[in-house]
Amino acid sequence: MWILALAMAMTAAVTDLKSRRIPNWLTLGGFCVGLLGNGLVFGWPGLKWGTAGAAAMLLVLLPVVLLRGLGAGDWKLMGALGATLGLRPVTLVLLLAILLSALMALAQMIWQRRFLQTLANLWELLRGFFVYGLRPHPEIQLGNPRAASLPFGVAAAAATLICYGIGLARL
């Protein structure tokens, strides 16, 4: 199942880098193949693990997608990885992907000399969240063409590769 997850994540990284999109054929296909593979290889328990992994990723990341802080393709990719890897491994992949994304964002802020502007934007997002709730900010979101963005698919692929490499496949 890890090899399938790696293939899916690497394909997502390449397409995310090229077009800043992760195609539905990859995420929805990966979701179905992940659940089917878990069911065939591990039986009913595998199907439950895959369903739990997908559901957890989709539910945990939904507020971020609604706030337009994460693209729908990235969200569906994490759901597909959850369906393929199961709950515990995909949770670790997500946590590492978030850390890698933060490091990528820090490097991008420094490179583009936007550190102070980014801190101001973060403050505005936090303030807006507590005042307005789960409504997207009109300017600080993925839909704004002037806003800086990161290919989360690259971070997810790197996290999947690292987790596989350090032996989480034995979980």
Q: Residue ranges per domain, the chain? A: 2-170
pLDDT at 140 exceeding the cut of 80: no
Question: CA end-to-end span of the chain, whole Å?
Answer: 12
pTM listed for this prediction = 0.82
Q: Is the dihedral of CA 2, 51, 64, 72 positive or negative?
A: positive
29-43, 58-72, 87-101, 103-117: least confident range: 103-117
Cβ neighbors of 67 (< 8 A, separation 6 or more) are 125, 129, 134, 135, 136, 137, 141
Q: What is the mean pLDDT of the chain?
A: 87
Q: What are the pLDDT digits (tens) for 9-44?
A: 999 999 999 998 999 999 999 999 999 999 999 999
User: pLDDT band at 88, cuts 50/70/90?
Assistant: very high
Mean pLDDT of 137-158: 72
- What is the structure's pLDDT at 145? 57
Give the pLDDT of residue 112.
81
**169 exposure class (CB count in 10 Å sphere: 0-12, 13-18, 19+):** middle
Contact yes or no for 101/148 (Cβ under 8 A): no
Cα 29 to chain centroid distance, Å, stands at 16
Buried b (16+ CB within 10 A) or exposed e, 75-98: bbbbbbbbbbbbbebbbbbbebbe
